[in-house]
Amino acid sequence: MADGDGVRSVHRALDLLERFDDEHPSWTLAALTTASGLPKTTVLRLVTTLEQRGLVAAIGPGKYAIGPGFLRWSRLSSATMEIPPAVRAAMGRLAADTGETANLYIRVGRTRVCLAQAQGTLSIRHAIAVGSSMPLWSGAASKVLLTDPPVLSADPSVIEEIALEAPRPPGFAKRLRAAAVDADARGFAISHGERELGASGVAAPIRRPDGRVVAAIAIGGPTTRFSDDRLPAYINAVRRCAATINTTNWSGFSAS
């Protein structure tokens, strides 16, 4: 082991935990086994361990769901990464100016998590929940988050790993990297129907003074409203918002 990789058992346990999401709120042992590719003995051992700690809970014969153990940290984590009022204000202005919902994303491992949201004024909205995690291989915010130097330049394997999780034809890693390079050059990214048919988005990076991308600010809405004649204004609004947040010297958070 290269010793910088971390502890395998812990990684595996977290891999299992991460499979519990909105689409799959509960798993059977067999499903976890096939999905993870681990031997079922190993899955059982890890799940048992997690159950002892209350991180998963048995909700039926062989059925497991996320347990109550997370409550202990959920409050603490949201307290730790409180969003500065200035940032919230900037997001609110962005939502008001464009009418679309504004979201703040950060990268967490191979996914992105929505940290904060300012609802748009229009009735057809881009509805996602704060705290939900989404794939890093689709969406405007993803492209922007991938422009973080350590991801884009230093370690090529990261983008490849992310691309592997996408249900796309081989060679997708190249396209993903190209999209990130493009976003890096332009300073923003656009997506049309990548994550969901009919949904579009525009995103721009939030950077620390040292250049690292700590977050992405994005607006999202129906593709109809992200037409060529409106896009320039949207892009401008998002970039202005990003610039404002940058000047509030918010350190943000980076997960490795």
Partner DNA sequence: TACAGAGGTTCCGTTGTGCGGTACGACGGA
Partner DNA sequence: TCCGTCGTACCGCACAACGGAACCTCTGTA
CB-CB contact of 179 with 144 (8 Å): no
Is residue 251 involved in binding DNA (CB under 7 A)? Answer: no
Count, residues near DNA per rule CB under 7 A: 23
Quick one: which of 18, 21, 28, 227 contacts DNA (CB under 7 A)?
28
Task: Pick one of 14, 19, 45, 172: the residue that binds DNA (CB under 7 A).
Answer: 45
With CB cut-offs between 5 and 8 Å by kind, which of a second copy, DNA, none does residue 85 bind? none
**Which residues make beta-bridge pairs with 105?**
114, 216
What burial letters (b/e) apply to 231-245, b meaning 16+ CB within 10 Å?
eeebbebbbebbebb
Asked if 82 interacts with a second copy (CB under 8 A), we say no
Alpha-helical regions (H) of the chain = 8-18, 29-36, 40-52, 71-80, 85-98, 140-145, 149, 156-164, 172-186, 231-247
User: 194-210: string of b/e by CB count within 10 Å (b at 16+)?
Assistant: bbeeebbbbbbbbbbee
Identify the residue among 30, 76, 81, 154 touching DNA (CB under 7 A). 30
Residue 253 interacts with a second copy (CB under 8 A): yes or no: yes
Residue 61 near which of DNA, a second copy, none (CB within 5-8 Å, type-dependent): DNA
The order of strands in the sheet holding 63-66 is 26-28, 63-66, 56-60
By CB under 8 A, tell whether 254 contacts a second copy: yes
How far apart CA 137 and CA 154 sit, in angstroms, is: 18
Stretch that binds DNA, among 27-35, 104-112, 121-129, 208-216 (CB under 7 A): 27-35
Binding site for DNA (CB under 7 A): 1, 3-4, 7-10, 12, 28-30, 33, 38-42, 44-46, 61-63
Binding site for a second copy (CB under 8 A): 3-4, 6-11, 13-14, 17-18, 20-22, 25, 45-46, 48-55, 57, 65-81, 106, 108-109, 111, 113, 115, 129-133, 253-256
